[in-house]
Amino acid sequence: MMTTSEKGILLSAPRATAPKSRWRSVGTLLLHAIAFVVILKMLFEIYLHLAAGEEPPSSSREKCPQVGPLVPSQQSPALSEMEEYLRSDKFRDDTVDRVAGAVRIPTQSYDDLGPVGEDPRWETLYGFADYLRSTFPLVHATLALEKVNTHGLLYTWKGTDANLRPTVLMAHQDVVPVAEATKDQWTHPPFSGFFDGKYIWGRGASDCKNNLIGILEAVELLINAGFEPKRTIILSFGFDEEIQGSQGASHLAEVLIQRYGKDGAAVIIDEGGGVASSWGSTFALPGVAEKGAIDVEIIVRMPGGHSSIPPAHNGIGVASELVTLIEANPYEPHFHAENPFLGLLECGNAYSPDFPSGLKKHLPWKEPSSPAKDKLALEAAREGDAIKYLFTTSSAVDIISGGVKTNALPERTRVLVNHRVNVGDQVSEVKVKITRLAHQVAAKYNLTVQAFNDDPEIPSSIKLNSGHNLEPAPVTPTMTEGVTPYGILSGTTRALYGESILMAPALMTGNTDTRYYWDLSRHIFRYGPGYDPEQGFGLGGIHTVDEKVSVDAHIAGVQWYSIFIRNMDEANLA
């Protein structure tokens, strides 16, 4: 406690130094004034962003959080031996033989395949299943195998804790056909499984027998190392993904959803994006969403007659006019806030030294009503069609047919238009637009429009039908706070490839077998984890000649699956 005299000294001290104190007071006032101006400026900037419908500016790296490497804590001499074997020349030779053997079995899916059990072209899948059984004896001795709709392969490695939701790993057995006319264009025969010391060549080598074999190799090795999972592991291998999966994945998914219920799986990994370099950085790009799809069939019915007295416009001409109108009215680039490509742009903005300044000036943003998003979409679209269609609905006229004889006017002309629907848009919007364009042409030629109904075709009409309809996929969460499937995927990837690899969400423009699994899990990742630093993603020739896969990328994929399975098993995740 202070005495009265001590208080007096303190009270009298300011008077003794009054001039100096006054200057301090002036300085304090100036500092407060400067701070006040700064705060006003910040508030004004926030107001401008809010008025524009945007979020206030924040640290760009907060928009692209990165998790640290995640290494399984459970170790044993056998697991260490397994990891060493994966790095050995012996494993390299063994895995080349296994992938090549899978490629040599031509499991081609054709658009005109008949029912399973009736069309003999399905029967090559029996040989593929036999090959897997002989190649992976521990898998088939340890896991329960169910044959779903004859050729769907569903393996279950039952975990010791029934309260943990399973990990689901997917791939497909089938491949796109090799056109007879292209066989002589291949550097090595398409079903040879030829290995040149760096690549394994052949149809299916990278889409996606490499993933299927890699998953089975990882499981085989874990069994051999004495690993016993707490969390059930499911391997689900469809057989007609290349023709929309209606016979394979749809049946497999139905079994799993009935067995485990809605959101019954902790995570699903299927084929998809990989590791790629851009803007001076290297990104791992798991697909967390897919565009939607709709095929629109256009049928133009007009009177026939002898071609020696043709009208000014016959059915083929009118159909062509409608095709021209469709192509002249493309969909505009448009960002919706849920589009995962925005996440990749945010990551590029945050970390990449060569990120384009034209894009940088429009970032960060997230609010869907922001006018800035349209400017960003238009700027990003300048990067080329491969980028533009990540945030634009596409339309492509793929098939046209009409007429039966050179001297007879066509009475029925058919056009098929394929659309891939932008994330945030709906299939119904495509129907509205193409109906409006059809009405423009129909009015000109006095035709009736029959739009997306079950009525039979009538003369002098334009009929619109929709076959394949798929809304854009739900977007997988990419949260990293706490323990999340995306965080485990990210940590596994950075543990294997190093922290120079940046994780960013990606969008699939095509559709995978996961289209049937939406109800099984909210956490679906379309991801090919193999990566060869010298060859990039390590893939080539998907759906065309000279398909191949880098053996180093494939080996890295096997390592990734083995680590991911163990990381998921240890995760504090229901």
Domain borders along the chain are: 77-289+473-570, 292-331+393-470
Q: Which residues are catalytic?
A: 174, 241
Q: How far is Cα 141 from Cα 130, in angstroms, rounded to an integer? A: 14
What type of residue is 346? E
- Indicate the average pLDDT of the chain: 89
292-331+393-470 maps to which CATH number? 3.30.70.360
> In this predicted model, which residue has the larger pLDDT, 340 or 8?
340
Of the listed ranges 119-123, 285-289, 324-328, 509-513, the one predicted with least confidence: 509-513
In the prediction, which pLDDT does 59 show?
57
Contacts of 13 (CB under 8 A, 6+ apart): none
Question: What is the percentage of the chain residues whose pLDDT exceeds 90?
Answer: 82
Angle among Cα 191, 193, 199 to the nearest 5 degrees reads 130
Tell whether omega for the bond before 364 is within 30 degrees of 0, i.e. cis.
Answer: yes
* Amino acid letter for position 466: S
Residue 477 pLDDT more than 60?
yes
Confidence of residue 374 (pLDDT cuts 50, 70, 90): confident
Q: Which of 15-19, 145-149, 437-441, 511-515 has the lowest mean pLDDT?
A: 15-19
- Give the pLDDT band of residue 538 (cuts 50, 70, 90): low
> In 176-291, where do the E strands start and end?
199-201, 233-238, 267-273, 275-278, 281-284, 287-290
Residue 61: the pLDDT is: 78
- Residue 63 has what pLDDT? 84
pLDDT in tens, 38-50: 444 444 443 444 3
Q: What is the pLDDT of residue 468?
A: 81
Instruction: Count the alpha carbons within 13 Å of 514 in the hemisphere toward its beta carbon.
Output: 33
Mean pLDDT within 509-528: 96
Global pTM value: 0.86
- In the prediction, which pLDDT does 367 show? 57
pLDDT of 30 strictly over 50: no
Question: What is the structure's pLDDT at 260?
Answer: 98
What is residue 22's predicted lDDT score, i.e. its pLDDT? 45
C-alpha distances in angstroms, 409 versus 303, 319, 321, 335, 457? 8, 13, 17, 45, 18
Domain 77-289+473-570: which topology?
Aminopeptidase (3.40.630)
More confidently predicted of 105 and 362: 105
∠420-424-428 over CA atoms, to 5°?
A: 60
Binding positions for Zn(2+): 172, 207, 242, 270, 543
- Per residue in 81-137, pLDDT (tens digit) is 999 999 999 999 999 999 999 999 999 999 999 999 999 999 999 999 999 999 999
Beta-carbon contacts of residue 305 (< 8 Å; ≥ 6 apart) = 311, 408, 409
Closest to 551 measured CA to CA, from 570, 531, 565: 531
Would you place residue 372 in the very low, low, confident or very high pLDDT band (cuts 50, 70, 90)? low
Q: What is the pLDDT of residues 203-247, one digit of tens each?
A: 999 999 999 999 999 999 999 999 999 999 999 999 999 999 999
388/535: higher pLDDT:
388
Residue with tokens 């039908």: 465
* Residue 373: predicted pLDDT: 64
